[in-house]
Structure 1
Amino acid sequence: MTSAMTSDTHREQSLRARWQATTAAAGATPGLDPAPYADRLLTAWAEPQRRYHTTAHLADVLARIDVLADAAANRAEQAPDRPAVELAAWFHDAVYRPDRSENEERSAALAERALPELGIDEARTVEVARLVRLTITHDPAPGDANGELLCDADLGVLAGTAQEYAAYAAAVRAEYGFVPDEAFRAGRAAVLRRLLELPRLFRTAYGAAHWEAPARANLAAELADLGEADLGESGATRPPGM
């Protein structure tokens, strides 16, 4: 078995264990096996059209949720509904077609069907679906602790090392391989400009302190590489990679 296969197997095992723990913490019916739902979700996250929105991305988002939630607890900040946020991470790209614009809506609808079947109550199901839909804009309202946690965890990839960011950008381009180069460059540049124009990329205290500056540097560097001065707004489809 290659090291890549070993890594993939270990990741899947870890994700299955995490799903078991998260659904239990969220109030799933005791004795009801959540494993078939994990099977379906992990199958979806491993679909062949994905290059960035894969199980590796899911695992990374969950890991960043841990970092952010632990930091918030240490600072005695408002406690998020962590099981709801983790469930939203599982569902936020469960439906993903790079040529479609309704991915988040369909992913939220999937959560709305699946979670009641697991016995998770209506209030938490509604919150999970809201959080999934929030990843369309990544713009939580002030004081939305759950939304801030999920959106920062999802956008944390922007703050990676230069090598990590390059791998992320390359994976995004591969997902949009059906888009001609000129159109992709225009659409991608428009997305990068919109992100850079935001007053804050990250809303949590940890994200603002540790991820804001490197993320902005990475975005600006990619925009410069694209030759943004020569690009217009045309060609944008879905915010690539978000």
Structure 2
Amino acid sequence: MIDSLKHQWFQLATKYTKDNILTESLWIEIKTQYELNARYYHNFSHIDAMLKQAETHKETIENYNAFLFAIWYHDIIYKPTKQDNESQSAVLAKKRLKKLHLKQNTLENIEQLIISTKKHEIILDKNKDNALLLDIDLSILGSDWKTYQKYTENIRKEYRIYPSFIYNKGRKQVLEHFLQRETLFFTQPYQSKLETQARKNILKEIELL
């Protein structure tokens, strides 16, 4: 998987720069962050899954390269004890991608896409890519129960600093917030394919907390 991800990163980055040293240094930083020992879910497996889903929707994504950059950087900063991971990830993405000479409006688009993953709410109303990114990011919610259960176990490991009585309360609040939404997913393909299963999974997890 790592070799494939590195190849994909180089394919993307070298569209904007011929500086292989820069491309390599950015890759090393990305790799280092996503391979941190404390990451059990928000790691390269998550990025790989998102990139694969993005590929299947390539024809419907308005700014595909910006979409891919947003995937690469949306969880690059991830500390369970912090509340500003997404904004910090967005800041870092903008800082690093400036070196690739991306246009300012593209940088701002990537920044907003990343920030939107904090509350998983669309903040770019006229940008259909925003809805799809959020659906891809949360697609794990609509997986089969065994896969979903593994996901919940990995999330719990990332928050292992907290005792169960604190974690369970916070997790339940997050899950109930999702259930209160009219739909968990924003795009028709994800609604039709994953919505029902996602709600079943969430309800079952709440029962087990």
Shorter-chain-normalised TM-score: which range? over 0.9
Q: Aligned pairs, how many?
A: 206
Q: 1:125 aligns with which of 101, 107, 126?
A: 107
Instruction: Give distance in 2, aligned partners of 1:64 and 1:91.
Output: 16
Aligned AA (2:186): R
Q: Which has the higher contact order (CA 8 A, sep 6+)?
A: 1
* 2:186 matched residue in structure 1: 203
Q: How many Å apart are 1:88 and its aligned residue?
A: 0.4
**What's the counterpart of residue 32 of structure 1?**
19
Select which of 201, 204, 209 maps to 1:221.
204
Equivalent of 1:21 in 11, 18, 36: 11
Contact in 2 for aligned 1:61/1:153 (Cα 8 Å): yes
Cα displacement (A) at 1:122:
1.3
After TM superposition, list the pairs within 5 Å mapping 1:43-192 onto structure 2: 43-67=32-56, 69-70=57-58, 73=59, 79-140=61-122, 142-192=125-175
- d(CA) in 2 for partners of 1:45, 1:213: 31
Given residue 209 of structure 1, which amino acid in structure 2 is its aligned partner? S
Return the alpha-carbon distance in structure 1 between the equivalents of residues 191 and 55 of structure 2.
16
Distance 1:123 1:86 in 2: 15
Q: How far is the alpha carbon of 1:172 from its aligned partner?
A: 0.3
What is the CA-CA distance between 1:225 and the residue it aligns to? 1.3
1:78-107 per-position Cα deviation (integer Å, ceiling 9, x unaligned)? x42111111001110000111111111110
Residue identity in the other structure for 1:56:
S
RMSD: 1.4
Larger radius of gyration: 1
- Cα separation, 1, equivalents of 2:179 and 2:3: 37
TM-score w.r.t. the length of structure 2 is 0.94
Deviation for aligned residue 1:143: 4.3
In structure 2, the gaps of 5 or more residues are: none
The alpha-carbon distance between structure 1 residues 146 and 198, as it changes in their structure 2 partners (threshold 3 A), is same
Q: CA deviation at 1:24?
A: 4.0
Q: Find the aligned partners of 1:136 and 1:216 in 2 and give their Cα distance.
A: 20
Q: Tell me: CA distance 1:131–1:106, structure 2 relative to 1, closer, same or farther (3 Å).
A: same
Measure the CA separation in 2 of the matches of 1:148 and 1:159.
16
Distance, in Å, in 2 between the alignment partners of 1:162 and 1:56 is 18
Hey, what's the Cα distance between the residues in 2 that align with 1:147 and 1:37? 24
CA distance in 2, matches of 1:59, 1:223: 28
Gaps of 5+ in 1: 1-10, 227-242
> Among the aligned pairs, what percent are the same residue?
26
